[in-house]
């Protein structure tokens, strides 16, 4: 007898061939998606920033020449040259590197978030494409069934057990299903364009989707604790760490800077001085002390406020994710209930169909009942497909939140 289209696809354990299809699509999307590429470039820039901060202040070179010699009997210098290198306080450069690294780590989490969101979008679009194709197969099956009923009606018409109106109504119903199938094809093309755009490839490339799927007997275990490892929350942890590193850097930069250098002075020849004192070399030491340090105190206060802000943002995001998870679990369970109900209803509709066929064999059949049962069967089959799609769509959300 007629079969029920079910899905042979479990979110965690796909059928080998079909699972590879969706997994490969997701991999292709991650490889080609321009948004992820932009995040990766941003992370590379942040990593390179570590090399930028791992440097000393510019070395200062000074050179002076006596342009006009004064009219004096004393020996005068002809030119002087000096070099000076300022050094930040101990640990300042390491603090800068740690701060830059913490910023890079936060940027890296953005990549993980973007990949999760992309994977979710690809999965949801894939399930929509499955549902459209499955509905088209169901419509083909129902059109074929109506054609069988039409032949029965024509046979009954010849012996006076049916009317021409019965035949026309069966034909009209077939036309309606053909129209629905054509509309679905337009929807498939539109969704296929969206799917291909997610993969950043040609819009008209064909997408292969599974024909059969089934809801698993037991729902995979969902652990609310796994929300804590969601990248959306980890991002706030990384931001908090970056503020901590920013404060450590602020403390180091509030310390003094020390400079070391040397100056060379070349003097003109003069009988008043011996050759051993003609040129002079002077070692130099310089120190820069931030006496007015209100700037650093202000930065410390700002960092404290930033940490409080990040804590509040993380708490708000956690509440949001918990709500989304609870809603997704509720929706998933609702889809299972609907699936079971539609399965029972479809079985009863199929039993009614068998009764009609047996009645025809005894010489009596009401084609109005035939159309009513066929309409019920089609509705239940469509609802089964939507329950399947809804189940896996909700589980894709659960997977996004907890895996």
The predicted structure's pLDDT at residue 360: 76
Alpha-carbon span 385 to 354, nearest angstrom:
23
Q: Rounding to the nearest 10 degrees, give the CA dihedral for residues 271, 272, 278, 282.
A: -170
DSSP for residue 228? G
Burial of 206 per CB tally in 10 Å (0-12, 13-18, 19+): exposed
Instruction: Name the residue among 109, 137, 112, 133 with its Cα closest to residue 195.
Output: 133
Successive 10-residue mean pLDDT values, the chain, 403 residues: 32 38 92 94 91 81 73 65 84 89 94 95 96 96 92 84 87 96 96 95 91 86 88 96 93 85 76 58 82 86 96 96 96 95 94 85 79 93 95 95 90
> What pLDDT is recorded for position 59?
83
Residue with tokens 């035939």: 370
d(CA 109, CA 329): 26
Q: What is the pLDDT of residue 366?
A: 82
> How confident is the model at residue 269, as a pLDDT?
62
Output DSSP code: residue 288. Answer: E
Query: Of all helices (H) and strands (E), which one includes residue 81?
Result: strand 77-87
Contact (CB, 8 A) for 36 and 116:
no
What confidence score (pLDDT) does residue 127 get?
Answer: 96
What's residue 32's pLDDT?
94
Q: What is the C-alpha to C-alpha distance for residues 125 and 327, in angstroms, rounded to an integer?
A: 20
Q: How many helices and strands (H and E) does the chain possess?
A: 7, 4
pLDDT value, residue 178: 96
Give me the residue spans of the domains in the chain.
Answer: 22-32+88-255+290-402
CA dist list (Å): 265 to 16, 86, 262, 277, 372:
82, 21, 10, 10, 110
Length of the chain (residues) = 403
User: What tokens appear for 249 in the block?
Assistant: 């850097």
Return the pLDDT at 2. 36
Q: How many CB atoms lie within 10 A of CB 390?
A: 20
pLDDT of res. 157: 85
Cα gap 83→218, rounded to integer Å: 76
The pLDDT of residue 284: 84
Phi and psi angles of residue 362, each rounded to the nearest 5 degrees, phi first: -90, 0
**Burial classification of residue 195, based on how many CB atoms lie within 10 Å of its CB (0-12 exposed, 13-18 middle, 19 or more buried):** buried
For residue 315, the model assigns a pLDDT of 96
Please, what's the largest Cα pairwise distance for the chain?
145
Residue 325 vs residues 220, 342, 387, 397, 401: alpha-carbon distances, Å: 14, 25, 19, 8, 7
Can you name the residues that pair with 261 across neighbouring β-strands? 84, 284
The Cα angle at residue 123 between residues 122 and 125, in degrees rounded to 5: 65
Residue pair 318/225 in contact (Cβ under 8 Å)? The answer is no
Topology of the domain comprising 22-32+88-255+290-402? Outer membrane efflux proteins (OEP) (1.20.1600)
Beta-ladder partners of 247: none
**How many other CB atoms are there within 10 angstroms of residue 389's CB atom?**
23
């Amino acid at each position: 007898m007629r079969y029920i289209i079910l899905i042979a696809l479990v979110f965690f354990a796909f059928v080998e061939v079909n699972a590879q299809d969706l997994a490969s699509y997701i991999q292709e999307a991650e490889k080609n998606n321009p948004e992820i590429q932009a995040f990766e470039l941003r992370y590379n820039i942040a990593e390179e920033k570590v090399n930028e901060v791992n440097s000393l202040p510019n070395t200062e070179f000074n050179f002076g020449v006596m342009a006009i010699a004064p009219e004096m009997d004393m020996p005068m210098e002809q030119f002087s040259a000096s070099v000076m290198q300022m050094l930040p306080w101990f640990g300042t450069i390491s603090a800068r590197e740690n701060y830059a690294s913490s910023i890079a780590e936060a940027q890296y989490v953005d990549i993980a978030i973007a990949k999760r969101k992309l994977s979710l979008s690809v999965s949801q679009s894939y399930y929509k494409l499955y549902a459209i194709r499955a509905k088209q197969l169901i419509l083909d099956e129902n059109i074929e069934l109506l054609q069988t009923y039409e032949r029965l009606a024509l046979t009954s018409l010849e012996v006076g057990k049916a009317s021409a109106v019965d035949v026309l109504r069966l034909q009209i119903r077939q036309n309606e299903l053909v129209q629905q199938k054509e509309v679905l094809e337009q929807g498939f093309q539109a969704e296929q364009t969206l799917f291909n755009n997610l993969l950043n490839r040609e819009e008209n490339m064909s997408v292969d989707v599974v024909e059969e799927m089934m809801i698993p007997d037991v729902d995979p275990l969902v652990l609310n604790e796994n929300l804590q490892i969601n990248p959306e929350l980890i991002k706030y942890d990384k931001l908090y760490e970056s503020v901590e590193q920013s404060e450590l850097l602020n403390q180091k930069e509030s310390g003094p800077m020390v400079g070391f250098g040397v100056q060379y002075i070349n003097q003109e020849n003069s009988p008043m001085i011996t050759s051993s004192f003609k040129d002079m070399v002077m070692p130099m030491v310089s120190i820069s002390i931030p006496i007015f340090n209100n700037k650093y105190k202000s930065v410390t206060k700002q960092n404290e406020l930033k940490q409080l802000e990040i804590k509040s943002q993380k708490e708000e995001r956690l509440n949001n994710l918990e709500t989304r998870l609870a809603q997704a679990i509720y929706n998933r369970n609702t889809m299972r209930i609907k699936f079971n109900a539609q399965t029972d209803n479809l079985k009863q509709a199929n039993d009614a169909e068998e009764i009609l066929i047996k009645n025809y064999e005894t010489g009596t059949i009401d084609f109005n009942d035939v159309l009513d049962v066929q309409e019920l069967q089609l509705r239940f089959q469509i609802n089964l497909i939507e329950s399947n799609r809804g189940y896996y769509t909700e589980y894709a959300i659960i997977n996004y939140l907890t895996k």
